[in-house]
Amino acid sequence: MKIEGDTDTYELHPNVKAYALKDVGFQVSNAGNYTLERSVDPTSPYNKNQMLKITIAKDLSGFKMATTNASGNRRVNIFKGAHAEGNVEQYHFILQNLMDREILQKK
């Protein structure tokens, strides 16, 4: 999976576990999938102008990842714009945490 503007590609870590997903804040949807929504605003986690959304299949077989606007209905490129530097730094911080916990890895 690759976010628009990012040079890195990510995949699920082979050791991913359901309890690790819950530990970092993933919620279980009605369909049983694991979802995580995080603001990429470095000034406040409550400012949801741009979001990182990750959905992992309930059987841990695959995932989707996107950066969206606050309502989640339009994808945005966080690597462009006036606040790109801070947003990208926060985006990489979130992904690094997921890699440290063996949820994602760089491909």
The domain locations on the chain are 10-102
Instruction: Give per-residue pLDDT as tens, 57-71.
Output: 999 999 999 999 888
pLDDT of residue 100: 96
Q: DSSP 3-state assignment of 60?
A: coil
Q: Report the DSSP pairing between strands 104-106 and 10-12.
A: antiparallel
The CA-atom distances, in angstroms, between 84 and each of 14, 40, 77, 90 are: 31, 10, 9, 10
Instruction: Give per-residue pLDDT as tens, 37-93.
Output: 999 988 877 777 889 999 999 999 999 999 998 888 899 999 998 888 999 999 999
Pairwise CA distance, residues 78 & 94, whole Å: 14
pLDDT of residue 13: 96
- Report the top-level CATH class of 10-102: alpha beta
Pairwise CA distance, residues 88 & 92, whole Å: 6
pLDDT of residue 47: 76
pLDDT of residue 1: 87
